[in-house]
Structure 1
């Protein structure tokens, strides 16, 4: 964290320490966490959104508990790569969360993550109820792992 009231800028995004992966949704948020070495992402939790103050309290608590150094927010873009209204909402959410936690934020392409998560969970032979209960956090894990595996973490969101 910095002494300033503004969060660090994206060009100072940390290359060591835990990152929080966020699969943004208007009803639910999937949360994933990286290892301190930023090599492996793991699903952490699904959170059903309530109010802005409660959402902020929940996410701040996780960021503090896990000593998170940065946020990676999934950016829903069209197949063409163009941004959508949902992209704008995700960016606004990321800015809000960054300001709240004083952590830098990166946005990362989340195209196909829900589909891949659904395939993984289906292969695990889970019931529909159990798949649904894990979907968002597994999508967050996939998005965060794609970010961690990228050769260029500063690149604009690209297709998976």
Structure 2
């Protein structure tokens, strides 16, 4: 018997000694898959376009980012004269709103101090991000950047969501 064969037999015996206990019976009745709704590309585009249209009416050129439920950008639209820096800012606002399932404007006072959660590079607690929440399920987030105030950014994000909210609720 070779050394390799002895090692395999030894490992097999050890594995039998440290077996994992069976799951409770209720766990075995769980579904094998989970159906998760996601925004379609067309819906995300409608959100982005409506946000840009609202800000244009205000005389402002912005960037809007729509992230999916995993926080990944699904749509990024940058108006012609929106500053380059508005692209990463809009993404961070959308991500933060999605992660906390809360408008970023209401979080500005919530996190204070040098070691708060928003110090993570991915997060930005500044008005202009709102979650996309449909029937109690988080679907993603919308972030807008480029307006002179965060409240204008947020109004444009809200206009983006309003463009699809009824359709999402009815589905």
With normalisation by structure 2, the TM-score equals: 0.24
Greater radius of gyration (CA): 2
Hey, which of these two has a bigger chunk of strand by percent?
Answer: 1
With normalisation by structure 1, the TM-score equals: 0.25
Which one has more relative contact order, counting CA pairs under 8 Å at least 6 apart? 1
Hey, which of these two has a bigger chunk of helix by percent?
Answer: 2
